[in-house]
A and B are shown apart, each in its own frame.
Chain A
C-alpha cells in the first residue's frame, strides 16, 4: 500500500452542479476536497461530501454493491458505477464527476434512467409472449428448462439497467431514437427463452431498422463500459446475423 494512501491523501472532486428546478440556475463545476480513506469508493466519497460540504448535492444510490445500477455517472470521462469505483484507481487524486449523458437530468449527478428503461422495455415488449398463455393449467407441473439454457438466459439477464451502455454509445448520443445495447440485450434474452413464442420475424418488427440493430455502428462503447461485463459485442453480432437473414 502506498504511504500517502495510508496517511490519507487529499482528493479533489470536481462535480457538475446544476438544478433545473431552480429558476436561473446555471451549470457549473464545483470542487470539493476530502481525505481519502482506505477502500474508499466514489460513492462513499459522495456521501461524505454531502455530509460535510453540501447537503443539497444530488446523486442516486440504493444498494451500494453494484446490483441496483442507480449510481451510474461519468467518472473522469468514463461511464461507471460510483459504488464500484475505488478512489485509489486515480493516482492523481483528481476526480471529475458528470451526470450520465443521454438521459434527462434530475439535478447534479442524478438522471432519470427509469424513464428510458421503461420505454425500452415497452418498445421491445420485454415479457414472455405466448398466445396460449391463457390456457395454461396451473395445476400441472411447469415444463422444466434445460439448466444450460437457464444459465445462458441468466447471463444476459444480469443487466442492472444502469444506463452506462447508452451513455457510452456514440450512436445513441447522436441519434436519440436508437435503441441501444440495453434493448438489444433484452431482445437477445427473450429470443433465447423457449417460453417466449416470438419468432425471429417478430423480433425483426422490433429491431429491424436503423433505429434498431442496423443502426449500430459497432463503436463498442457498450462492450467496453458495461459495469456488469455483459457480452454486448457478441450478442449484437448474433442479432445482426439473425436479423439480416430474416425473410
Chain B
C-alpha cells in the first residue's frame, strides 16, 4: 500500500529495469546461440574436431588424461543459460498479445500493412512461445546429462533418443528469434544509428537476413551430419567416441579403464 502511494508521488523505476533486463538477457542469449551454433557445427569438420570442442568445454586441458573432463562445468553453464532463458521469457511474455481481441487486432493490422518489421515481431512471439517448451526440454536434458556430449553421444541423442524433431524445430525457432531479436535490439537502443539512422537500419536489416540464412543453413548441415552419424551408429548406441590419435597410440591406463 505504501509502495503504491509512493508511486503516486514518484513513478516506479521498475518498468525501466524490466525493459533493460529484457534487452540484456536477450542480447546475452542471442550471442550465446550464435556461439553455440558455431561450436556444435564443429562436427562438420569431423568427429575429432567436435570431440576436441566438447572436451575443451569440459576443461579437459586441466586434466592429465585427455579423455577426462569435468562435465559438472557444463551443468553450471547450462544452469546459467537456463536462468537467463527463464528470466528473458518472463519479461518478454509481458509483450505478448494478452487476449483474443488483441491478437485478432494485431493479425488484421499485419494483414493490412504488410510491413516487414511488424510481421517479424509476430515471428518472435510464435518462436518465443515454441521455445518455452522445446527449449526447456533441451536445457533440462543437457543440464542433467552433461557428460553425454560428443560425436557419438550427441548423434545417438538425435536418432536413437528421438530428439531430432525437437532439434529441428528448435534450430529454426532459435535462429529466427535470435537474429530478429538482435536486429530489434540494435534498432531499439539506437546502437548503430550513426549519422544516418535510415540507411543504417537498411544495412542492419540486410545483415540480419544474411546472418539468419547463414546460421540456418549451417544449422541444417550440422543437423544432417548428426543424423547421419546417429543412423550409422544406431547399432552401437551408448558407445563413446575415442579419437584415432588416442586409440592408435599406446592407450593410457585411464582410457583402458574407461572403455572397460
Chain B residues with a Cβ closer than 8 Å to the other chain, count:
33
- Complex contacts, B106 vs chain A, CB 8 Å: 170, 173-174
Does B162 belong to the interface (CB within 8 Å)? Answer: no
Does B117 belong to the interface (CB within 8 Å)? Answer: yes
Does B52 belong to the interface (CB within 8 Å)? Answer: no
| Contacting pair A174 B16 (CB below 8 A) | no
Q: Which of B29-37, B181-189, B228-236 contacts A (4 or more CB under 8 A)?
A: B181-189
Does B87 belong to the interface (CB within 8 Å)? Answer: no
Known: A74-B112, A174-B105, A175-B102. A221 touches B189 (CB 8 A): no
C-alpha spacing A203/B112, complex, angstroms: 34
C-alpha spacing A238/B95, complex, angstroms: 21
**Chain A minimum-CB-distance residue to B110:** A170
Of B15, B95, B115, B193, the residue contacting A233 (CB under 8 A) is B193
Would you give the 0/1 interface string for B110-153, flagging 1 where the beta carbon is closer than 8 Å to chain A? Answer: 10111101100100000000000000000000000000000000
- Complex contacts, A210 vs chain B, CB 8 Å: 15, 94
- A residues 198-243 near B (Cβ < 8 Å) are 204-205, 208-210, 214, 216-221, 223-225, 231, 233-234, 237-238, 240-241, 243
* Majority DSSP secondary structure for residues of B touching A: helix
C-alpha spacing A77/B115, complex, angstroms: 10
Does B97 belong to the interface (CB within 8 Å)? Answer: yes
C-alpha spacing A246/B201, complex, angstroms: 27
A interface, size bucket? 35 or more
- B residues 178-227 near A (Cβ < 8 Å) are 184, 187-190, 193, 197-198, 201
- Complex contacts, A241 vs chain B, CB 8 Å: 189-190
- Complex contacts, A77 vs chain B, CB 8 Å: 112-114
Of A175, A240, A246, A247, the residue contacting B188 (CB under 8 A) is A240
- Complex contacts, A175 vs chain B, CB 8 Å: 102
C-alpha spacing A210/B11, complex, angstroms: 12
C-alpha spacing A234/B201, complex, angstroms: 10
- Complex contacts, A170 vs chain B, CB 8 Å: 106, 109-110, 118, 121
| Contacting pair A220 B105 (CB below 8 A) | no
| Contacting pair A231 B115 (CB below 8 A) | no
- Complex contacts, A221 vs chain B, CB 8 Å: 113, 115, 117-118
| Contacting pair B16 A244 (CB below 8 A) | yes
| Contacting pair A168 B102 (CB below 8 A) | no
| Contacting pair B193 A168 (CB below 8 A) | no
6 contacts between A and B (CB under 8 A): A78-B113, A173-B106, A205-B10, A208-B15, A214-B16, A217-B95
In the complex, the 9 A-B pairs of residues with the closest C-beta atoms, listed nearest first = A237-B190, A214-B19, A220-B117, A218-B188, A174-B102, A234-B197, A214-B15, A209-B15, A219-B118
Measuring CB to CB, which residues of chain B are less than 8 angstroms from any residue of chain A? 10-13, 15-16, 18-20, 94-95, 97, 102, 105-106, 109-110, 112-115, 117-118, 121, 184, 187-190, 193, 197-198, 201
